[in-house]
């Protein structure tokens, strides 16, 4: 089996026009350098979906959906990666080449295909078992579920036996069959028995209602099982497998996508029984996490579907802890056009029981009145702290700091910070400084100069020269430079802080490099060091982003030039690079940076000039800093002749800069 070469994919994106590809499915209108339309991935009334012909990239400022022409076809049409490439290639009149893969690549692909078929077959078998088991059917009826809902969510039943799936896959004594079932999480294998006894192998799910967990394409990737009678654990999920990761999967999202867009919000519950029961009761826009805390990936998936998310939690301490983890996952992805709320039901109710007790209108009312993300932020930050005491207010600041730092610099963060300052009897500036959100500039002191001889004029008892004497005594203790004995040169009367890189230089370089990664790839070690130093002076987060971005640039493949011409970056380079960055651990930060450059009409010549200009400024700052350091040595009489020669050399360089 062969792979599609990356060079062909880059060439394909260079040949097709994303405006034409997207325009076949979305009505686009020219808006400046880009095209705009209503986003096909979430419900909206004002267009926030932008397509850039220069970057060959689409981006929705509403739900965050973004990508190349390939990813658009995958997301919109539900095509697989290879199918999307082949579809795009056909439209461009190209044949898709293949290259041989390594044995490991082939093994991984075969494993994924085998597991996918196994999960699908198991789901079909569980559904058949439900139809023939009156006890399981009565249980679902007792929970108020109809056959229509059971069909929509593909519910099934795992019989109360140890080797039920042998009826589908064959005997578990076959090691190959057992290995695949174990990898899929359907079979549990015991330890190797002593004395040559056969290994115990038995079904993971027994006597349980089965809830297939499906990916966005509708393929079964795992299962959840609910016990019918009393027993523990009440709920049992598939383990982590090559197909299934709890931190990246939401139960019911495949089934709820249309309802989420119609209702314009998604309701996030704690269990899959809540999801199915709510669908039965008129709330088909519910999804659930799967026995794990809400993650950033969960939130990102939700915000791609809608601008409004409502989390529903039990009112007990466990529910409060789960809600706090959800808050921590939401804050890095917040934007001012998103709405996130937290609903806490009475401890004796879950969503299902609440609707049955009080009715659907009452549940709709509490959803609308759910706590806003800002209100829950204040609740979490001040929990257990007495705001009437300095200690309590300090503890609140301490608790709020990591939450504020995790947020992007949006208007909501500013509003939360101001409100928190009022509640803790502080000023916004004090709170910003404590959290490190802004750095107050150091006060500028006037540098004064006096002739060296002035120190001795008027004698030791001359009171009229007292201020001058004080100035020069300070100079003795570490002024940046000092004239040699008998010299009439002027000396500074105070320490001068080394100049710092302007905070906008790091941002400027990040913006250029994320748009033109081949420029980052071409930077030599000296320029990389300057870029990292500028980012470090801006913030730790900027330094981490710059370091990762340069590493990502090194992975960029260029299109070979014709003949003796140098390799180039094609029109699809931006789109491919953004897909690459979306798989980075710093993907949320790249998303913020990408939002800032999507409206940019910067071309390659302008980008090259901007980057060169930034480095010239950084080099100048570096020279001044080195000169200041040598001046301090001269002032302290510790400078060598080599230092003095370097000082004169730097002075000449700065003169002509």
Is the confidence at residue 584, as pLDDT, over 70? Answer: yes
Is the confidence at residue 77, as pLDDT, over 70? Answer: yes
| Number of helical H runs and strand E runs in the chain | 28, 20
- The model's pLDDT over 367-399, given as tens digits with 9 standing for 90+, comes to 999 999 999 999 999 999 999 999 999 999 999
Question: What whole-number distance in Å separates Cα of residue 496 and Cα of residue 198?
Answer: 79
**231 against 412, higher pLDDT:** 412
**pLDDT recorded at residue 109:** 56
Question: Measuring CA to CA, which residue among 445, 537, 528 is closest to residue 500?
Answer: 537
pTM of the entire predicted model: 0.57
Q: What is the DSSP letter of 568?
A: B
**220 against 602, higher pLDDT:** 220
**Mean of pLDDT values over 568-586:** 78
**pLDDT recorded at residue 566:** 56
**pLDDT recorded at residue 656:** 57
Residue 396 contacts residue 384 (beta carbons within 8 Å): no
Question: What whole-number distance in Å separates Cα of residue 614 and Cα of residue 423?
Answer: 42
- The model's pLDDT over 246-272, given as tens digits with 9 standing for 90+, comes to 888 999 998 998 899 889 999 999 888
Is the confidence at residue 232, as pLDDT, over 90? Answer: no
**pLDDT recorded at residue 629:** 83
Alpha helix ranges (H) inside 424-515: 428-435, 466-476, 503-515
Per-residue confidence band for 113, with pLDDT thresholds at 50, 70 and 90 = low
**Mean of pLDDT values over 117-141:** 94
Per the structure block, which two tokens stand in for 575?
């789109």
- The model's pLDDT over 148-179, given as tens digits with 9 standing for 90+, comes to 999 999 999 999 999 999 999 999 888 888 98
**pLDDT recorded at residue 375:** 96
Mean pLDDT, the chain, integer:
82
**pLDDT recorded at residue 481:** 34
């Amino acid at each position: 089996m062969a792979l599609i070469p990356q060079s062909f994919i880059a060439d394909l994106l260079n040949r097709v026009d994303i405006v034409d590809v997207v325009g076949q499915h979305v009505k686009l209108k020219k808006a400046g350098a880009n095209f705009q339309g209503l986003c096909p991935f979430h419900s909206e009334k004002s267009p926030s979906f932008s397509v850039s012909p220069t970057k060959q990239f689409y981006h929705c400022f509403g739900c965050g959906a973004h990508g190349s022409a390939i990813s658009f076809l995958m997301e919109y049409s539900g095509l697989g990666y290879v199918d999307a490439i082949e579809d795009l290639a056909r439209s461009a009149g190209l044949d898709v080449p293949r290259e041989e893969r390594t044995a490991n690549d082939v093994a991984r692909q075969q494993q994924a295909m085998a597991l996918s078929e196994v999960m699908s077959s198991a789901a079909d078998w569980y559904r058949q078992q439900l139809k023939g088991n009156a006890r399981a059917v009565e249980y679902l009826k007792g929970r108020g579920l109809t056959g229509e809902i059971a069909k929509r969510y593909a519910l099934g039943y795992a019989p109360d036996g140890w080797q039920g799936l042998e009826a589908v896959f064959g005997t578990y004594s076959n090691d190959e069959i057992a290995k695949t079932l174990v990898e899929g999480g359907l079979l549990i294998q015991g330890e190797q028995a002593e004395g040559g006894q056969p290994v115990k192998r038995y079904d993971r799910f027994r006597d349980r209602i089965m809830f297939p967990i499906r990916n966005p394409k509708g393929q079964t990737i795992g299962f959840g099982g609910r016990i019918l009678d009393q027993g523990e654990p009440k709920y049992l999920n598939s383990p982590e497998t090559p197909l299934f990761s709890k931190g990246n999967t939401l139960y019911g999202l495949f089934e709820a996508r249309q309802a989420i867009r119609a209702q314009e919000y998604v309701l996030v519950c704690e269990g899959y029984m809540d999801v199915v029961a709510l669908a039965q009761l008129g709330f088909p826009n519910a999804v659930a996490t799967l026995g794990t805390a809400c993650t950033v990936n969960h939130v990102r998936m939700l915000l791609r579907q809608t601008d409004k998310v409502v989390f529903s939690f039990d009112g007990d301490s466990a529910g409060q802890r789960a809600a706090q983890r959800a808050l921590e996952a939401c804050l890095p992805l917040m934007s001012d056009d998103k709405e996130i709320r937290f609903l806490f039901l009475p401890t004796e109710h879950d969503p299902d029981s609440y609707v049955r007790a009080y009715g659907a209108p009452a549940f709709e009312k509490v959803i609308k009145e759910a706590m806003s993300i800002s209100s829950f932020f204040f609740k979490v930050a001040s929990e257990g702290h007495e705001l009437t005491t300095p200690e309590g207010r300090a503890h609140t600041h301490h608790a709020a700091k990591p939450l504020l730092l995790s947020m992007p610099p949006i208007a909501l963060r500013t509003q939360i910070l101001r409100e928190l300052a009022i509640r803790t009897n502080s000023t916004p500036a004090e709170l910003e400084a404590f959290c490190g959100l802004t750095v107050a500039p150091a006060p500028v002191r006037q540098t004064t100069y006096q002739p060296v001889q002035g120190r001795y004029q008027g004698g030791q008892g001359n009171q009229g020269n007292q201020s001058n004497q004080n100035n020069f005594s300070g100079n003795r203790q570490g002024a940046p430079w000092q004239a040699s004995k008998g010299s009439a040169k002027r000396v500074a009367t105070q320490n001068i802080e080394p100049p710092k890189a302007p905070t906008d230089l790091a941002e400027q370089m990040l913006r250029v490099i994320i748009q033109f990664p081949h420029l980052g790839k071409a930077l030599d070690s000296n320029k990389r060091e300057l870029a990292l130093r500028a980012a470090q002076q801006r913030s730790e987060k900027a330094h981490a982003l710059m370091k990762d971005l340069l590493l990502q640039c090194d992975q960029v493949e260029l299109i070979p030039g014709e003949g003796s011409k140098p390799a180039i970056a094609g029109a699809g380079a931006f789109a491919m690079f953004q897909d690459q960055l979306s798989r980075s651990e710093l993907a949320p930060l790249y998303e913020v940076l990408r939002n800032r450059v999507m409206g940019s009409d910067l071309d390659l010549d302008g980008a090259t000039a901007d980057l060169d200009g930034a480095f010239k400024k950084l080099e100048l700052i570096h020279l001044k800093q080195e000169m200041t350091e040598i001046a301090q040595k001269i002032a302290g009489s510790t400078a060598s002749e080599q230092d003095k020669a370097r000082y004169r050399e730097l002075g000449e360089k700065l003169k002509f800069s």
